[in-house]
A and B are shown apart, each in its own frame.
Chain A
Amino acid sequence: MTKYPLWKYLLITLAVVIGLIYTIPNFYSEVPAVQISNPHAASAIDTATLSSIEANLASNDLTPSGEIFDGKMLKLKFNDTDSQLKARDIIQKQLGDSYIVALNLVSRSPNFLSKINANPMFFGLDLRGGVHLLLEVDMNAAIKKTLDKYASDVKRTLRNNQTRFGAVNINNNSIVIQFRDATAASDAAALLKKDLPNIALNEDGNGNLEAIISPTEMDKIKEAAVKQNMLILHNRVNELGVAEPIIQQEGANRIMVELPGLQDTARAKDILGRTATLEVRMVNDDQSDRSAAIAGNVPSNQVLLDDIGANGAITKILVKKDVELTGDNITDAQPGFDENGSPSVNIRLDGTGSSIFKQVTGESIGKRMAMILVDNGKSEVVTAPVIRTEIGGGQVQISGAMTTEQANDTALLLRSGSLAAPMNIVEERTIGPSLGQENISKGFHSVLWGFVAIALFTIIYYQVFGVISVISLAVNLLLLISALSMLQATLTLPGIAAIALALGMAIDSNVLINERIREELRHGRKPHIAIESGYEHAWATIIDSNVTTLIAGLALLAFGSGPIKGFAVVHCLGILTSMFSAVLVSRGIVALLYANSRIHKLHI
């Protein structure tokens, strides 16, 4: 038998050592931790903040048992959940709303391991508990909303240029504006072309101007809607204080949100799905119009809304359909109290918003303006104050019939922005923490007892070569777990099943080799020759059979979603590690045992 080259031994040793280092973190248990980050700035947590947090905690008799600080995120470990919860409240109060202070679990493994990115395997929701949501963006609504915005842009441009125009109608993919005659229409077209370069303008010669949104522009609108919704989901999830959220686009119009460890699913769904946005519109205070509207005769460009008074009484209020300003122009919103001490939301507007607001208030002194909260398609007047002076500077306070909690939620929703389009939950998976724990232990026991059974049988059946097979199978398990830890691939229950199956299938390579050696011996070959040709013949078969299994694994990876994907990742990795360990490792051990000695009888 040829000697086994040194570099292969080195390769095996290297693989096993790296495998061990990256597997070790999985053996440590987890400790409760408080996780602090600042989404607004890249590195807002500095050493000064760190020491001030520590000092503050110390003054409250709390000492973290450990710290992990990676420049962006600070994790403080605590010995029990009680001090974790206390610390969270203290830190949140100290740092204020701009920081995200979330509860998390952190591995007890020593810091030098996490420094080289040796972390425990990343458990999926079915193992750690939490909420998985698949949200579908309502594209028709997104397009409608964009058309509405274009329409009000068109109106503003025309009005600012003192151009008279008739009705503005919104169709499926176009806006039709009526003018007095064809010349007025073409004058307006020239005017609008400058301000709206992305829109094709068609004149029909009868004074109608049609602004058509091209299909490419439509696609852009859809893409932008998904992107904006994802951004806003990020903001809202951050507000919820979830430690390791995942937000991903899936397909053209779906967004996946995973919130590990979250318990209050009802609130999460409520906050994520809400489409709340603020609209500022003018009020029609003409009493005869109002009574006509209440009788059912609402003017075409106006709408009758509920205004909830301070004592909870609902009065009807007639407002114009034209939106002067929307929540898109809000840069910040904080809950507060007005001069009468009732809860309010204090809003800061951006540059455009401020100038529009200044213009609107300047033009309409003495009239009433309504602050309308549009939530899930329902419009509600929060407050409708009389404009006394022109308001510049972009600071707006809205107060009406609100509880403190409502003010908080409203501020949160306005702050995190409004969704480009409403979303529907098309898939939801909630896994309680107890079930997660149960799944981990069941998966673990399946792998353990399966491995023990295979090991016992193989050792009895193949003796020395059985021991070698079991060692290479153990190396396979080690490499697989370390690969999963290194890649931080999400491990789910089907993933654990794939680990078990990978081991059950990996033994095949060893059996192939052992059977082949036995056969060679039966044919009367000398032990060294039998080993040599046994490995050689088995290798071609091992390649063929693993490639076919890998093809199935890749198909699962490509077309699978959810639980199937979790299975497929581990399945594919398992095939690769099993090829390495069955061939290189077991061969190496055999060479170590037999290469330099004369063998009279092989124990196989």
Chain B
Amino acid sequence: MEFFKIKKDIPFMSYGKITTTISLLTFILAIFFLFSRGLNLSVEFTGGTLMEVSYSQSVDSNKIRTILNNNNLEASTVQNIGSSNNLMIRLPNKKGTNSATLSNEVYNLISTAAPNPQLKSVEFIGPQVGQDLVTNGLLAILFVCIGIMGYLAIRFEWRFAVAAIIANMHDVVIILGFFALFQWEFSLTVLAAILAVLGYSVNESVVVFDRIRENFRTIRGGKVSAIINNAITATMSRTIITHGCTEMMVLSMLFFGGPSLHNFALALTIGILFGIYSSVLVASPLLMWFGVDRANLVKTPKRKEEAVV
């Protein structure tokens, strides 16, 4: 079975202006949502207390909220999750209150609403910890960018490094834009997903770049755009199949993984879709505009010494 039997190379590079413009617009839109709506940060980043409780009967979240309010505990969220028996309570950090005893206090209070609540999980994050997480997250993204650019610059050439990183950072911003637009909760696991996507979609660009380099070596003459078109067309089948397979796994997490993995899978899905788009239709035109040509690559006569397997 074979889905893609393409006889002639598709002239991707002649659409370069359109595709990069679309990209730019999406990017600007994402930035706009990031600033206008902001990210719905999880308790790990903001600090505060998050409790998950399940009762043997259904509970009214409003009743719980009133009970907490009456005892000077202002919960920012009280909502039923999954079923009406399950309850999620989120409380902000308050100066001067002993956070260690807060969860016990809340538990005692909500026990009065209905008997025998079962404490499924408690998460308390102090304000300093959240700050550290944000710093470390940004550091990690910086480290990934530098690491990947360095590797691509050594393995290929600086133009490839810059083109790949622009294309992929734009994916990251678009994922963040989606999270801002729909106000999905942005947690540490989502951050992990984003960094994984960063590595994964660079991967995608690398496959195309590898082919471009190979074409420069094997196809004598011919315009740069034709060489890039050929590389993209030749790798297209692999691109679609690979991403389709990865997406199957991600969808499996989305459907079976429960609430903890839901947003993780969402971030990956968006990342994978835009990853394909940007590696093919953003990174490659950028590469062309940066003026890549045969001389850039062939002067480094790097025979693939790893090819002995």
Contact = CB atoms under 8 A, between A and B. Distances in A.
Interface of A: 126, 134, 136, 265-266, 269, 273, 424-432, 434-435, 438-439, 442-443, 445-447, 449-451, 453-454, 457-458, 460-461, 463, 493-494, 497-498, 500-501, 503-505, 507-508, 511-512, 515, 518-519, 535-537, 539-541, 543-556, 558-564, 567-568, 571, 583-584, 587
Given A503-B249, A505-B200, 16 more contacts: A428-B100, A428-B125, A434-B54, A439-B258, A447-B252, A494-B264, A497-B261, A497-B264, A501-B196, A504-B245, A518-B2, A545-B207, A555-B195, A562-B188, A563-B188, A564-B188
A427 B144 contact: no
Contacts of B103: 265, 428, 430
B237 A515 contact: yes
Nearest to A449: B252
B226 interface: no
A211 to B, nearest CB: 32
A560 B264 CA distance: 16
A340 B195 CA distance: 68
Nearest to B122: A430
Contacts of A518: 2
A502 to B, nearest CB: 9
A230 B152 CA distance: 44
The list of the 4 closest CB pairs from A to B, nearest first, reads A552-B199, A504-B249, A450-B252, A426-B126
B94 interface: no
Contacts of B256: 442, 445-446, 449
Nearest to B139: A559
Nearest to A550: B199
B121 A429 contact: yes
A426 B131 CA distance: 12
A522 to B, nearest CB: 9
Contact of B245 (A426, A507, A562): A507
A458 B245 CA distance: 8
Given A439-B260, A461-B241, A548 B203 contact: yes
B1 interface: yes
B276 interface: no
A551 B151 contact: yes
A560 B129 contact: no
Nearest to B191: A564
Nearest to A522: B5
B186 to A, nearest CB: 13
Interface in B137-179: 137, 139-141, 143-144, 147-148, 151-152, 155
Contacts, number: 250
A134 B189 CA distance: 19
Contact of B120 (A431, A547, A556, A587): A431
B126 A540 contact: no
Interface stretch (B9-17, B23-31, B283-291, B301-309): B301-309
Secondary structure of the A contact surface, majority rule: helix
Instruction: Kindly name the residue among B99, B133, B144, B248 whose own CB sees the greatest number of chain A CB atoms within 10 A.
Output: B248
A567 B194 CA distance: 12
Contact of A556 (B125, B195, B234): B195
Given A541-B206, A560-B192, A136 B245 contact: no
B248 A453 contact: yes
Instruction: Kindly name the residue among A428, A535, A562 whose own CB sees the greatest number of chain B CB atoms within 10 A.
Output: A428
5 contacts: A426-B126, A428-B123, A450-B249, A493-B261, A550-B199
A552 B120 contact: no
A451 to B, nearest CB: 8
Given A453-B252, A460-B1, A435 B120 contact: yes
Contact of A432 (B119, B141, B245): B119
Contact of A567 (B101, B192, B304): B192
Instruction: Kindly name the residue among A518, A550, A556, A587 whose own CB sees the greatest number of chain B CB atoms within 10 A.
Output: A556
B64 interface: no
A512 B207 CA distance: 9
Nearest to B49: A428
Instruction: Kindly name the residue among B101, B202, B253, B304 whose own CB sees the greatest number of chain A CB atoms within 10 A.
Output: B253
Contacts of B155: 544
B77 interface: no
Contacts of A494: 189, 192, 264
Given A497-B253, A512-B207, A561-B136, A556 B307 contact: no
A461 B1 contact: yes
Nearest to A272: B100
A271 to B, nearest CB: 12
B100 A269 contact: yes
B122 A428 contact: yes
B199 A551 contact: yes
B104 interface: yes
B198 interface: yes
A587 B309 CA distance: 9
B123 A560 contact: no
B307 A539 contact: yes
B234 A265 contact: no
Interface in B198-226: 198-200, 202-204, 206-207, 209-211, 214
B140 A560 contact: yes
Contact of A539 (B100, B132, B248, B306): B306
Contacts of A505: 200, 203, 246
A424 B96 CA distance: 12
A560 B136 contact: yes
A574 B189 CA distance: 18
A454 B192 contact: no
Contacts of B266: none
A552 B306 contact: no
Contacts of B124: 425, 427-429
A70 to B, nearest CB: 33
B122 A561 contact: no
Contact of A552 (B119, B132, B196): B196
A432 B120 contact: yes
Nearest to B235: A515
Contacts of B120: 431-432, 434-435
A427 B151 CA distance: 37
B238 A424 contact: no
A425 B195 contact: no
Given A136-B126, A457-B244, A544 B261 contact: no
Contacts of A508: 203, 242, 245-246
Nearest to B124: A428
B176 to A, nearest CB: 16
Nearest to A571: B196
B125 A427 contact: yes
A548 B257 CA distance: 27
A540 B304 contact: yes
Contact of A442 (B104, B143, B261, B268): B261
Contacts of B129: 134, 426-427
A497 B189 contact: yes
A27 to B, nearest CB: 21
A519 B234 contact: yes
A556 B119 contact: no
B250 interface: yes
Contacts of A554: 147
A365 B130 CA distance: 56
Contacts of A439: 258, 260
A534 to B, nearest CB: 12
Nearest to B126: A426
Contacts of A458: 245
